[in-house]
Amino acid sequence: MNFEINWALVAPLLVIQAILMIIALFDLTKTEKTNGPKWMWVLIVIFINTLGPILYFIIGKKHS
């Protein structure tokens, strides 16, 4: 890409994505059981931007 990205503008997006990822990872270290293997969720949370943490919060956590 050869146009200038105003990083000050995009920074908040990256920060929010980072917060979501960190919370999800923090929760992963604390919960004992997840739906499906834990390492899979770690990969999903880290590598799938935004959607990864959301997916973890909605279907990854075991509610019982």
Partner 1 sequence: MKKWFVLHRKEWLEMTRNYKVIWIPLIFVLFGLMQPITSYYMPEILKNASNLPEGSVIEIPMPTSGEVLAQTLGQFNQMGILVLVLAFMGIVSSERKSGMLKAILVKPVRFSSYITAKWMSAVLLSVGAIFLGMLASWYYTVLLIGDYPFMNIVKGTSLYLIWIMFLLTFTVFLSTFLKSSGFVAAFTLLLSILLTLLTSLFEKYMEWSPAQLTNAAASLFISGKLEGPLMLPLITTVILTALILYLAATRKSSL
Taking alpha carbons only, the member of 54, 29, 49 closest to residue 39 is 29
Q: Which helix (H) or strand (E) holds 55?
A: helix 51-55
Q: Contacting partner 1 (CB under 8 A), which of 35, 40, 46, 50?
A: 50
Give the total of residues touching partner 1 (CB under 8 A). 22
Nearest-approach distance from CB 46 to partner 1, in angstroms: 16
Chain positions contacting partner 1, by CB under 8 A: 1-3, 5, 9-10, 12-13, 16-17, 19-20, 23, 27, 50, 53-54, 57-58, 61, 63-64
